[in-house]
Structure 1
Amino acid sequence: MLINTAGYPPDEAASFESFSHRQSQAGDLFLGAYLNASGSRELIGYTCSTLSSAETLTHESMSKHVPNSSSVCIHSVCVALSHRRKGVGLRLLKEYVSRLEAARKNGPESYDRILLITHEELRPFYEKAGFEWLGKSNVVHGSKPWYGMSKNLASKTSGIRAEDVSAFPPAQVESRGQQLPPGLWEALQRPSRNRPTTQLISTFRNGIADIISPDPDRQGVSTNKFDLLCPRPDCGSVILKEGAGKWVERASVQMEPADINNPLLPSLPTPPETTQWWLITPSPMAFENIGFTRPIVAQNPGDPKMKLLTCAECDLGPLGWSEEGGSEFWLACSRVGYKA
């Protein structure tokens, strides 16, 4: 609340009651920016939203949360005064949009658009994050006028996509437009980031005991001690940040036919034998990177359909599973890597 009250004029800042209501009703639509310092995490910014079935922002659509709706209504993008003018807000907003897009593409969410209102001087900020200007809003909140902006998550782009470029040899790319500058093609083919070293659970001397950490806020609960990574050695994409998954021992799940074997993915015990899992809740936005298959028919008649979890970067899987439309996501401890 301190960031909120310091970041807005008194006639615009959300009340404690409004803030608490949004947190309780739409906690999965909150995202914070943290600074790691001296072994502790300091919240330096946040963004939060609720859902609405309306296609435009009004007093009514902003005053209540309608679960499973298609419009994400952003209420705040706020950064602590001491960390402004450093690009924190824009990086936070872009990350937020990216997670909403991933949730729409890979998960059960049906987000079609992101809506917000802002003051005229902040228009360039939101345009940098891909939002479009809609004009003056009818919403009255405080003394200054508000203007609507939106980002369509359901639109399809045309032309050559970034992923299409690698499919064409240089000559073909050049034939579709002007010649590429010298060295650009080679730069596009280079890895975009350093790959972290992946350790598998089998390499830890004490097994599961070495990769769990007691949760200081929840008695008897243990979480992942390290970032969870894609186990493919040449991928290593971060799937889940440390502390975001709850360790659970529960019945195994048969996620692929018994005759299919991938050397990168250890076989799981035959149900109903138990195995080790990471439980992630309440939505795909808790992940850094995750992919979902199409729903598959459950093995037991009457059970909900299941979606399998994969690495969104290299499609390796299944790493875990979730029920279609569910809020619990399960990663097999033996099928992910650890950034130890």
Structure 2
Amino acid sequence: MSAALDGLCFKNVPAEDLGQAIEIETQGFPPDEAATLDAFRHRQRMASDLFLGAYRNNQLVGYVCSTLSPDTSLSHDSMSVHIPGSSSVCIHSVCVSSANRGQGVGSKLLREYIARLETAHREKSAPYQRILLITHENLRKFYEKAGFEWVGASAVAHGSLPWYEMRTILGSGSTALESPPQGAFEALQRPSNENPAPRLLSSFPGGIPDVSFNEPSLRSNKFDLLCPRSSCGSVILNHGVAKFIEAASVQMEPANHPRDPLLLALPEPPAVTQWWLVAPSAMEFENIGFSHAIKSLGDKIKLLACAECDLGPLGWCKEGGTEFWLACSRVGYRTS
């Protein structure tokens, strides 16, 4: 277990912690998507066993909350009411406080949540048959990694961005107890090669010229850009998509939020630094997550992070903007 996950425990969120939960909600969702305190009170009162929190030092650092529906697909109606005794667990929020992102808390919390529902299904202590959720496309890989399958576009309209439905069927995996094949435990202990190992910009002797196509009119990224965390390595952007730009630095670390040691410090604004510019929409990314809007030097910006492991900030964009800036020194490069 990483040091970041030491001391993490899980329990159902009591009513007295809903103030902490709504603060995390407003950090993680834009105003047109965030739930209200009244909605949280309703969910906690009606389905307290489906409101799970991640705690560190007795402080709530993340949560998952759901209600129940008899429907097998999500709609505005199925997400607006709670029908006790129903078979579909409808997830409303999976959210981690800004100070605890990039540490794997969200992934571990979601795995714990699913494991509890699987146990209830297996022991027939609850009627749960499936878990449903809607998400934005940039978080697809995060949920797929947790075992959810992509269903497609959702009819639910909430906020300005489109939603997509995902689901997982409880009990769909094999529950038979079989002896593992010879060498299985050794194989599990070996590092996974599912994602490529990222190389950092500092490892290239020539710097930017080594990682870019040096064309007269456009210097683009020669390699796929990856999450720089070696245990993640998720592909953030395919090669040839971003444009290299030297422009003013941006203060991306929020006040009282220390920089992750995996990420190099950027020069203080307005000093010039190196960026990969992605435009005209977030659909160019293979995997990216967005923070809530913060103020930086008078502008409202959103911070960019790896959608799989939450490591960030890797870059930024103006709220509602069409240009997305990744710090060249804060992403990894796939060279093989």
What TM-score results when the alignment is normalised by the length of structure 1? Answer: 0.48
Higher relative contact order (CA 8 A, sep 6+): 2
* TM-score (normalizing by structure 2): 0.48
Greater CA radius of gyration, 1 or 2? 1
